[in-house]
Amino acid sequence: MEGLDGVEFLPEPDDSRILSVIDSSAVGFQDNWRSEVTGWAPMQAVPIPRMRRRKILVTNGIVFSVLVIVMLYVWNSGLLFLEIPPPKSEWAVEQSQFDDLSEMGLTGEGVRVCMVDTGIDLSNPAFSNLQVTFKDMIGNSNAPVDYGFIAHGTLMAGILVSNNHQIGVAPGVELAMVAALGADEDDLNSGSEDTVARSIRWCQDEYQADIISLSLGGEQNVEMHTEGSSVSAVRRAVDSGIFVVAAAGNDGGSADDGLVSVPGNVPRVITVGASTESQQVWANSSAGSQTLPNDDLRQHPHMKPEVIAPGQNIISTGIGDTWFSSSGTSDSTVFVTGALSLLLEAFPEYKASSNSDGTCIDSVKNALMNSALKYDDSSIHDDRWGYGQLQAMAWYSSLESQSPTC
């Protein structure tokens, strides 16, 4: 232990006998963020108490007291400010070609995006001056609030509109947040399908959204003879020309049922899987089936999922001045929502109008199919990769080169 008197130890979450050395001055700083990056979340990462060699000299006690007084004075005077900046996930922005569209001056201005999630907490400085239309479907709050056990909606909103540290991919959009999900008895975020359906209808009828972003999903039941209320609400939206972007689901791997989440199963929805920094499919990203419940086969450009986008270790906004890392197709969904927002700013003729019937969505999805970075030259579509990885600039170029069919 010689030379380690100035440090503390954090145990590994899987084996408390394995310790990591940290600077003692950082103990307690941004505990939630520290728990995320060390693998402890949602529990707090607590340092291991350590007995040092006892020194009973009176002079040591006096020196310690003096140091405490000096430190308190410096802290209260504002002369000492300790900051450990969280990392960024700039790789996700670069890999998806957002920089190219940003250099063109596109921010999503004039595009109305409606998120259905756990709500939003605006206490993070990254949301300063942000104007949000908030609708509470599970409580009675008029002011924005996040009901999540983990502030999921706040995380998703940050990917889209954060204005500092990790800048949002479409910070100029007009954002509405509908609180439809909340913490349950198992410390998970959940909600009823009917509440989600009402939220989707509110996005369409009251907010008049151009894009509805759904970083959520339920399990498909192929034996059901009637579709659920959320599927009906989404089908109504897309058939009116309103874009819906939805998560494919996080049940990939050996337990994958081979079906994307509801309502991502609706043909005109853009259903999004997750990719990694190494440009692979994230292990838990759900695969899709190309057979409909009536045994008909899905047709291009509506095979599921349609696209994969960054969804592993994505840095985004927490409550207060905190930043978190999260993984999942929820994050990926917002990246596609952001790219689509930039495209609708550039090509507003694809927005829904009073006489839209969904053919504009088909046209935009054709451009997505043709522009995605293919995983394999031998196949147009893969059950896990979709048509390939999101390439925002290539999507723009593909849309620019084709004539609108709506």
Same domain, 65 and 148: no
Domain, as residue range, for 39: 7-77
Query: What pLDDT is stored for residue 55 in this prediction?
Result: 38
Same domain, 172 and 57: no
Same domain, 310 and 363: yes
Q: Which residue has the higher pLDDT, 19 or 216?
A: 216
Would 346 be classed as within a structural domain?
yes
CA distance 95 to 389: 9
Same domain, 242 and 324: yes
Helix residue ranges per DSSP H, 78-120: 90-95, 98-103
Query: What pLDDT is stored for residue 298 in this prediction?
Result: 96
List, as one string, the DSSP characters of 228-293. -HHHHHHHHHHTTT-EEEEE--S--STT--S-PPBTTTSTTSEEEEEE-TTSSB-TTPPP--SB-T
Would 85 be classed as within a structural domain?
no
What's the pLDDT tens digit per position in 164-181? 999 999 999 999 999 999
Same domain, 66 and 192: no
* Mean per-residue pLDDT of the chain: 84
Q: Which residues contact 331 (CB under 8 A, 6 or more apart)?
A: 155, 156, 159, 215, 274, 310, 311, 314, 316
Point out the domain boundary residue: 77, 106, 138.
Answer: 77
CA distance 295 to 302: 15
Query: What pLDDT is stored for residue 4 in this prediction?
Result: 56
Point out the domain boundary residue: 77, 98, 117.
Answer: 77
List, as one string, the DSSP characters of 19-34. EEEEEGGGTTTTHHHH
What's the pLDDT tens digit per position in 266-288? 999 999 999 999 999 999 999 99
Point out the domain boundary residue: 53, 77, 101.
Answer: 77
SS3 211: strand
What does pTM read for this prediction? 0.79
Q: Which residue has the higher pLDDT, 339 or 189?
A: 339
Supply angle C-alpha 119, 123, 127, rounded to 5.
80
Query: What pLDDT is stored for residue 145 in this prediction?
Result: 96
Q: Does the pLDDT value for residue 26 go beyond 60?
A: no
Q: Which residue has the higher pLDDT, 74 or 42?
A: 42
Phi, psi of 177 (to 5 degrees): -125, 125
Same domain, 215 and 131: yes
Same domain, 54 and 160: no
**Number of domains forming the structure of the chain:** 2
Same domain, 176 and 42: no
Would 1 be classed as within a structural domain?
no
Would 200 be classed as within a structural domain?
yes
CB 116 within 8 A of CB 196: yes
Q: Does the pLDDT value for residue 184 go beyond 80?
A: no
Same domain, 306 and 371: yes
